[in-house]
Amino acid sequence: MIQSTSGDGFLAALPQLSSLDVNNRRVLVRVDFNVPLRPDGTVRDDTRIRAALPTIKALRDRGARLILASHLGRPKGAVTPELTLEPVGAKLAELLECEVRLPDEVVGDAVRKLVLDTRAGQIVLLENLRFHPGEKANDPEFAAALANLCDLYVNDAFGTCHRAHASVVGVPERVHERAPGLLLERELKALGRVVQNPEHPFVAVVGGAKVSDKLTVLLAVIQRLKQGDSLLIGGAMANTFLAAQGVKVGASLHEGDRLSDCRTVIRRAEARGVNVELPVDLRLGADLKGSLSRTIVVEPDTALDADEMALDIGPDTVGRFASRIRAAKMLFWNGPMGLFENPAFARGTLGVAEAVAACPGFTVIGGGDSVAAVRENGLAERVDHISTGGGASLEMIEGKTLPGVAALLSR
C-alpha cells in the first residue's frame, strides 16, 4: 500500500472520535477483549478491558447507544461455550458500574432486536465474533449484518488492526461515519512517532524466542538507525546470533537455519555505524523449569556442554545494555532477554526493564511477553508507551499499513 500508518500526516487524515455526532445513535465499537481466563472461566487479567474504558465512557457520556464487539481466543468459527464473552461482560459491568446486555449470538434477529431496544448510554456486548466463520474470512454477508446493527463505527482494537477481518475492515467499509477510538489513536501516535520521527541516539532492544519471527522487523528498524544508535540483542534470539559467530550453543533454543540472516543483520547495522551488542555473558541451566547451573563469559571459542542451555543474559551484558539505554533519546523494546517465566532466568529481563524505566528518552515497548514482564515488575508507569498489540505493533514498526487503520481513512 502507498500510505504509511504512521506520522502526523497520517493521523491528521484520520477522522476524530470527538467530531462524531453520537447522541442517541447506535455506535459499534470494535474492542479488544481477548483477555486471559482462569480455568473457572473468570477473567484473569482485565488490562485489555480497562484499556478500552476511556473510549466506552466518552461515548456513553455523549449519549451513544453502545454495541461492543470483540473476539476471545480461537473458537475457529464455531460456538464454543468456554469462550463465551459472558465473563468479560460481567467484568465490564463491574468496572463501569452499569448493566451490560449480552445477547447469546453475534448477529441475528434476537441481536438486532436487543440493539434496536437499546437506549442512549446503554451497552450491548455482542457474543464472541469468532464464533462466526465470517469474522476471520471477512465474509461480506457477515460484515453487512454487523454493519446493519449500527449507525457509526469506532475501532479501538489496536491488537487486531493488522488482521483484515470482518469487524476490522468489512464493517468500516460499509459504515460511512467512523473513527479510531482513544486507545487506537494513542497507539498510532506513539508508534507513529517512533517510525516517522526517530530521535537519536535511538536504541532498539530485541529479544524473545526466534530470529525468524522478527527478522523483517530487525531489518526495517536498521534502515532507520544512524551512526551512534544501538541494537541490543538478547533472549533466545541472541543464541542464534552467537551461533552465527561460531559460539557452540549446546542445547540452547536457537535456529540453525538462520545463521546467515543473523550475519546479514549485523553487516547491515555495522555498515550504518550502529553499535550491535550481543551478550558478553550468559546464565545457563540444564532444565527450563530448573535453576541456574553457572554463568559464563562469552568468548569467540566458547562452547556450552551438549545439554546446557543459555536461558538469560548475564550481569555484564545487563550493565552494557543499561549504559546504552541510559543514553537513548528514543527506545523501542520487543522481546524478553531470557526465559523470564522462570525466576532463575528473569534477572536479565528485569535489569533491562529497570533501565528502560529509568531512561529519560521516549520509550516504547511492544510485544506480549515483554509487556507482561514490565507489568509484572510494576514498571509500566515509567515507560512512555506500552503497546497493547504484539503483532500489530511490530507491523507498525516495520512501516506497514495496518488494514484496520487504512479502513478508517475517508475515501
Summarize as ranges the residues that interact with ligand ADP (CB under 6 A).
Answer: 208-209, 213, 235-236, 253, 310-311, 334-336, 338-341, 367-370, 390
Say whether residue 261 binds Mg ion (CB under 5 A). Answer: no
Q: Please, what is the minimum distance in Å from the beta carbon of residue 367 to ligand ADP? A: 3
| Straight-line distance from the first to the last Cα atom of the chain, in angstroms, rounded to the nearest whole number | 15
CA distance 371 to 390: 9
Say whether residue 368 binds Mg ion (CB under 5 A). Answer: yes
C-alpha cell of 310? 543459555
Local structure of 331: helix, strand or coil: strand
CA distance 88 to 369: 22
Say whether residue 339 binds Mg ion (CB under 5 A). Answer: no
Say whether residue 369 binds Mg ion (CB under 5 A). Answer: yes
Q: Please, what is the minimum distance in Å from the beta carbon of residue 57 to ligand ADP? A: 29
Say whether residue 192 binds Mg ion (CB under 5 A). Answer: no
3-class secondary structure per residue, 253-302: CCCHHHHHHHHHHHHHHHHCCCEEECCCEEEEECCCCCCCCEEEECCCCC
Element (H, E) at 27: strand 26-30
The option from Mg ion, ligand ADP, none interacting with 338 (CB < 5 to 8 A, set by class) reads ligand ADP
> Catalytic residue at 391?
yes
How far CA 182 is from CA of 57, 152, 186, 410, in Å, comes to 11, 15, 6, 18
> Catalytic residue at 347?
no
> Catalytic residue at 41?
no
Q: Please, what is the minimum distance in Å from the beta carbon of residue 124 to ligand ADP? A: 32
Half-sphere exposure of 18 (CA within 13 A, CB side): 2
Q: Is-cis flag, bond preceding 133, omega within 30?
A: no
The option from ligand ADP, Mg ion, none interacting with 213 (CB < 5 to 8 A, set by class) reads ligand ADP
181, 234, 368, 390: the catalytic one is: 368
How far CA 410 is from CA of 12, 58, 152, 167, 407, in Å, comes to 11, 22, 14, 17, 8
Say whether residue 395 binds Mg ion (CB under 5 A). Answer: no
Max Cα-Cα span within the chain? 72
The option from Mg ion, ligand ADP, none interacting with 34 (CB < 5 to 8 A, set by class) reads none
Q: 250-253, long-range: CB within 8 Å, 24+ apart, which pairs?
A: 250/303, 250/304, 250/305, 250/306, 250/307, 250/308, 250/309, 250/310, 251/286, 251/304, 251/306, 251/307, 251/308, 251/309, 252/304, 252/308, 252/309, 252/310, 252/311, 253/209, 253/309
User: How long is the chain?
Assistant: 411
C-alpha cell of 94? 463491574
Question: Closest CB to ligand ADP among 58 and 215?
Answer: 215
Q: Please, what is the minimum distance in Å from the beta carbon of residue 213 to Mg ion? A: 8
The option from Mg ion, ligand ADP, none interacting with 253 (CB < 5 to 8 A, set by class) reads ligand ADP
The option from ligand ADP, Mg ion, none interacting with 404 (CB < 5 to 8 A, set by class) reads none
The option from Mg ion, ligand ADP, none interacting with 235 (CB < 5 to 8 A, set by class) reads ligand ADP
Say whether residue 159 binds Mg ion (CB under 5 A). Answer: no
48, 136, 163, 193: the catalytic one is: 48
Considering only the stretches 73-81, 342-350, 355-363, 366-374, report the one whose residues sit in contact with Mg ion under the rule CB under 5 A: 366-374
Question: Closest CB to ligand ADP among 146 and 353?
Answer: 353
Cβ burial of 381 (10 Å; 0-12, 13-18, 19+) is exposed
Q: Please, what is the minimum distance in Å from the beta carbon of residue 393 to Mg ion? A: 12
φ and ψ of 124, to 5 deg: -115, 135
Considering only the stretches 13-21, 84-92, 226-234, 364-372, report the one whose residues sit in contact with Mg ion under the rule CB under 5 A: 364-372
Question: Closest CB to ligand ADP among 341 and 398?
Answer: 341
Q: Please, what is the minimum distance in Å from the beta carbon of residue 209 to Mg ion? A: 7
> Catalytic residue at 210?
yes
112, 189, 210, 329: the catalytic one is: 210
Considering only the stretches 73-81, 237-245, 285-293, 362-370, report the one whose residues sit in contact with Mg ion under the rule CB under 5 A: 362-370
Q: Name the residues annotated as catalytic.
A: 48, 210, 368, 391
Which spans of this chain sit near Mg ion (rule: CB under 5 A)?
368-369
